Amino acid sequence: MAACEGPTLDPATAALIAGLRTDLAASMSDLAASHAHNAMLKDALADADAAREAMRQRAATAQLEAAAWQAVVAAELNASESDAEHHQQQATTAQLEAAARHAVVALEVRQVEQQAEASLQEAFEARVRGGLMQAELG
């Protein structure tokens, strides 16, 4: 009956196999953590993309508002020649306000783009680390 039990490993080989199993479990745990981190980075990147799109929409809205202001001011100029100087001042003010809003929105869009680029870099680095860990396991 003892012949059915299979070969017996010497203690050194058994210890080596146990150590390798422990190392494999730790590597798999690290890989799972890397996958979770990658998922988190993908979510952050999606959030950054959404924020960038919102900023672009805000910039477009600001440009439309500026165009509307210019159209209103132009109509007022045509309606009354006696108030032409006053309306020109309003047009200049509206254009300056629109330019200021556009500059602020452009800065906000650039900031969001920089955050998205940082998220992309972080995601790339995490993928590289994950690939290195997979290469070590494989």
Task: Quote the pTM value.
Answer: 0.42
- If phi > 0 it is left, if psi is from -120 to 50 it is alpha, else beta; for residue 6 that is left
Domain residue spans in the chain? 12-137
Residue 46: pLDDT above 70? yes
What is the rounded average pLDDT for all residues in the chain?
83
Residue 25: pLDDT above 90? yes
CA-closest candidate to residue 108, choices 24, 51, 45, 64: 51
What digits encode the pLDDT tens for the residues 90-121?
Answer: 888 888 888 888 888 888 888 888 888 888 88
What digits encode the pLDDT tens for the residues 56-84?
Answer: 888 889 888 888 888 888 887 677 666 66
Residue 2: pLDDT above 50? no
Q: Are 92 and 128 in contact (CB under 8 A)?
A: no
Evaluated on CA atoms 84, 89, 92, 95, the torsion sign reads negative
User: Greater confidence, 137 or 95?
Assistant: 95
Instruction: Specify the DSSP class assigned to residue 81.
Output: S
Specify the pLDDT at position 4.
Answer: 53
Burial label for 22, CB within 10 Å (0-12, 13-18, 19+), is: exposed
